[in-house]
Structure 1
Amino acid sequence: MARTAYLAGPDVFLPGAAANAAAKIAICARHGLTGLAPFNPKLDLSLPPDILWRQIYLDDIAMMQASDLVIANLTPFRGASADSGTLVEIGWFLGRARPVFGYSNTAASFAERSAAQAAAVADPLPGLAIEPFNLPDNLMIPGCVEYGGGLPVTLPPDGISRPFDSLDIFELCVAAAVRRLGL
C-alpha cells in the first residue's frame, strides 16, 4: 500500500505552482509514494479574502490529516529562514508522531544567511547573537526533521545552491525518505 506524503512548502506562491505541484507528485509516484501538494486548482479564488484564507487552511489541514508523512521544502523563503507556514505544518506532523522529512535547495548555512541579511537590512534588535552551529536553519527546524524522520535535512550534496524551484534535491529527499521508511 502506497504511503501518502504531504508536500509542504511555499511552492504554491511560484508563478508555475500547478506545474511544480504536478512534477513533485510525479517524482513521489516514481518512488512509490502518493504525493499531496497544497495546491488546489478547484479553489474558487473569487471568494472574499476572509472566506478564502479559511478555505485554504481547511483544505491544507484535510490533506495533512490524510497523509502519513510530510516532505517539506525548507529552502529559505522571503528571508534567512524557511517559510513560517511550512514550519507550522512540520510541527503539526511532529506533534502527531508522523515522519518528518525536509530539504533545502540552499547550501549556505543559517548563520551565513543570517549574517548576510543583517548586513543588508538594519536589524531592529542589533547585537543579538547568531546561532553558531553551521546548521541549515534555526536549530529547531533541523531538529524537528532529524528527530521526526530519522534523517538530517537533505541539502545539495555538491555544496552548490539551486534555484528555489529546482527539484533535484526534493527527489533526493523523497528517495531518502522511502529508504528510511523501508518502502
Structure 2
Amino acid sequence: MKIYLAGPEVFLPDAVEMGRRKAEICALHGLSGLYPLDNVVDRAAPDASLQIFRANERMMDEASAIVANLTPFRGPGADAGTVYELGYMAGRGKLCLGYSNDPSVYADRVRNFTAVEGRDGRLVDSVGLTVEDFGLSDNLMMIHALDACGCPLVTPRVMPSDLWRDLTAFEACVRVAAQRLTGRPTPG
C-alpha cells in the first residue's frame, strides 16, 4: 500500500533526509511512502513548477492514503500546498490523516502575527477580518476532513523541541494508516 507524504519538510535544508526517514517509518509498518522530492524534475526547465505539480498529482493518484504535516508554516496555519494535497486526496475519497507538531489553537497563533480583539461576539484581526475561533488547531475544513475519514488530527501534548524533525506524531498517523489499509495491527 502506498501513502503520500505531504508537508513543508520539502523546504528544509535536509529535505531529502527527512523524506528518507519518513519512508523508513512507513516501511516498518508495511507501507510504501511516496515523498514529493522522489519525483524526477528538471528544475532548470521553464515549466519546472508545472512538472512538480503534475508529478505530485501522479503520486497522489497512485497512493491509497495521505499523511499531511499540518504544522503551521510561515504563518499561523498549515502550508498551502499541503492543504491542497489534503483536499485533493479527500476529494478522491482516499484515506486522509494529518498531524501538527504545534498543539496550540489557531486563534491563539493568529495573535502572534497580528492584533486580535473581540468585537460583537467574534474575534477580529487588525484589519477587521474575522478570525476563525472554534478552539481547533487550524481551519475547520481541514480538521473536519480528517474527522470525516475517522482519523482526527494528531498533535502532541507539548510542542517538541524540534518542530520540523520530530516524527512522533507522523509515526502515530502511519500506524493508523497501516491498520486501516491492511486490517492488521502494526508494531509500536
The 1-side partners of 2:59 and 2:39 are apart by: 14
Identity of aligned residues (%): 40
- Deviation string 1:113-139 (CA, Å, 9 cap, x unpaired) is 11221139xx98623332222211011
Q: In the alignment, which of 6, 11, 20 is matched to residue 13 of structure 1?
A: 11
Q: 1:82 aligns with which of 74, 78, 90?
A: 78
TM-score between the two structures when normalised by the length of structure 2: 0.85
Give the Cα separation in 1 of the matches to 2:73 and 2:136. 16
Distance 2:39 2:178 in 1: 28
1:107 Cα deviation after fit: 1.4
* Distance in 2, Cα, partners of 1:137 & 1:129: 14
Q: Secondary structure at the match of 2:68?
A: strand
Letter in 1 for 2:135: N
Q: Paired residue for 1:25?
A: 23
Whole-angstrom CA distance in 2 between matches of 1:18 and 1:26: 12
1:160 alignment partner AA: M
Considering only aligned residues, what root-mean-square deviation do their CA atoms show, in Å? 1.9
Q: Using the alignment, how far apart are the partners of 1:36 and 1:164 within structure 2?
A: 18
Aligned pairs for 1:1-183 (under 5 A) are: 3-40=1-38, 42-48=40-46, 51-119=47-115, 126-147=127-148, 149-156=149-156, 158-161=157-160, 162-181=162-181, 182-183=183-184
Return the letter of the residue paired with 2:101: N
Runs of 5+ unmatched residues, structure 1: none
Question: Structure 1-normalised TM-score?
Answer: 0.88
Check whether the contact 1:150–1:180 (CA below 8 A) recurs between aligned residues: no
- Structure 2, unaligned stretches of length 5 or more? 117-123
Aligned 8 A contact 2:68 2:97 in 1 = yes
**Cα deviation, residue 23, structure 1:** 0.4
Aligned residue for 1:170, secondary structure, equals helix
SS in 2 for 1:117: coil
Runs ≥4 in structure 1, deviation > 4 angstroms?
none
Count of aligned positions: 175
Flag the 1:138–1:57 CA change in 2: closer, same or farther, 3 A. same
Letter of the structure 1 residue corresponding to residue 153 of structure 2: V
Residue 52 of structure 1 deviates from its aligned partner by: 0.4
Output the amino acid matched with 2:58: A
